[in-house]
Amino acid sequence: MNILQNWHKIPYLGVGITVITFIGLQAGVVIAAESVNAPEPITYSGHVARIINENCVVCHREGGIGPMQLTNFEQVRPWAPLIQLKVANREMPPYAYDHDIGLQDLQADWRLAQDDIDTIVAWVDQGSALGDLEQLPPPPILRDVDEWNFAAQFGQPDLVLASKPIDIPANGNDLWDKHFIDGGLTENRCIKALQVKPRGDAKSVVHHANTYFAEIAEDGSVDRKPVTEYAMGKWGEVIPEGVCRTAFAGTKIQWDIHMYPGGLGGIAPNAIIEDNVVELGIWLHPKGYAAKVTQDLKTYQLDQGDLFIPPHGTAMTQGFHSFDHPVRIDSFQPHGHLRMNAASLEIFYPATGKTEVISMISNWSATWHHSHLYDTDIAPLLPVGAILITKQWYDNTAANPNNPDPRQWVGWGQRTSDEMSHSWIAISHLDDETYQEILEQRESENPSGQATD
């Protein structure tokens, strides 16, 4: 470490000695003047290590899903120019959500603050110096890579429901597996949080893993309600306080798992995965938990039958949905495959003719699906008659870095090479009284806040 620290001082000392040798006394005056106006030196120890420890190391560490480790200066320094590029373009941390359009108060928001971005950019522009070792922040306390994401917040899940083991080849066509397991509940309970967790070496192989509370009739027909949805990169879901999403007693859990042999993205194993098990963790509220508001999670489809993208072309889909009672939008998660590159959520108010953009994701990627959880204080409220509008855009040209082959016609389908057009949206269903109470509370707390007319 001392060698590295001294090495970063050499270019400065060399330039200083050279200038003083050839210019003499005047050089000292020039250097002194420049030092007065010089920007504050940005160093890894004093500035950058904290940012990386708090935002990057959770993935970029031994056993993590990041393609390189970033736990110390020796690991970070070779990647400094690439880190600068990815951070400046807001590609890392991988949380695509526009900063200048729509609601910005999100739970579990991975986006870097602009000050942190500016600090990293300046650090690299100044030469990526180590700095004073005594300024290094303490190393982050990291959970085990296989730990549940909400364990620190809620403890271990109350229910862990595992799929059957599935072998996945190193290459080949998409695979699907649908099967039932016991749901494990003898009485209805309210859900606090959920996470679906593929095994570590299969995180880029499991394209999606959807779960449903399922009742199987005597004739073999299945009545099912979504538990949660998992797609690559999804962290999990937290249900707002005072809201009940029901875990149903006496039902089966149906697993619907889509696998892509070899995997996608920078950590794709391209290897055989044996006995892969996907787990569903459910955190429950205590028995007797009372909630006035109920929530459900559903897919809201766009015009998928018309989704047909020509070679070297683009497309856009949109869908509309209204409710016969007031609702609150708690989360928004668009879904697509390799050609999809953007999505938005809007609300149209027929009474005023106004359209409000709630969320815009202009750089969407199939390798990072996020359920954007709105803070309950600003989560969109829809009065009766308001129309929810979902839009998604597709790029089947060579300019799309995720596009495997721009020469192909692409339509709706289940395979990774096909496309989809829907959003998973968590809705809290309100009665008129509760809707008015929430509306009045918001107006009293923030008279100039979000319009809901």
Smallest Cα–Cα separation from 256: which of 230, 282, 237? 230
Smallest Cα–Cα separation from 394: which of 424, 418, 372? 418
Instruction: Determine how β-strand 252-259 pairs with β-strand 206-216.
Output: antiparallel
* Whole-number percent of the chain with pLDDT over 70: 88
Q: Measured between alpha carbons, how far is 418 from 409 in angstroms, rounded to an integer?
A: 9
Least confident of 139-143, 434-438, 444-448: 444-448
Domains 151-291 and 293-453 share a fold: yes
Q: Measured between alpha carbons, how far is 342 from 334 in angstroms, rounded to an integer?
A: 9
Residue 451 has pLDDT above 80, yes or no: no
Cβ neighbours of 367 (radius 10 Å): 17
Cβ neighbours of 49 (radius 10 Å): 25
Q: For the domain 293-453, what is the CATH code? A: 2.60.120.230
CATH architecture of the domain covering 151-291: Sandwich (2.60)
This prediction's pTM: 0.82
Smallest Cα–Cα separation from 138: which of 25, 251, 57? 57
Q: State pLDDT tens for residues 10-39.
A: 222 233 322 322 233 333 333 333 434 557
CA distances in angstroms from 21 to 29, 213, 221, 226, listed in the order given: 14, 79, 89, 75
Output the DSSP codes for 6-75: HHTTHHHHHHHHHHHHHHTHHHHHHHHHHHHHSPPPPBIIIIIHHHHHHHTTTTSSTTSSSSS--SSHHH
Q: State pLDDT tens for residues 41-77.
A: 999 999 999 999 999 998 899 888 888 999 999 999 9
Residue type, 45: S
Contact between 42 and 122 under an 8 Å Cβ cutoff? The reply is yes
Q: Where are the domains of the chain?
A: 39-135, 151-291, 293-453
365 HSE (CA, 13 A, CB side): 20
Q: Measured between alpha carbons, how far is 263 from 202 in angstroms, rounded to an integer?
A: 8
Q: State pLDDT tens for residues 188-219.
A: 999 999 999 987 677 778 888 999 999 999 89
Residue type, 318: Q
Mean pLDDT of the chain: 86
DSSP annotation of 371: -
Contact between 296 and 226 under an 8 Å Cβ cutoff? The reply is yes
Q: Measured between alpha carbons, how far is 162 from 231 in angstroms, rounded to an integer?
A: 16
Q: Where are the alpha helices (DSSP H) in 49-150?
A: 49-55, 73-76, 80-88, 114-125
Q: State pLDDT tens for residues 99-133.
A: 989 999 988 889 999 999 999 999 999 999 999 99
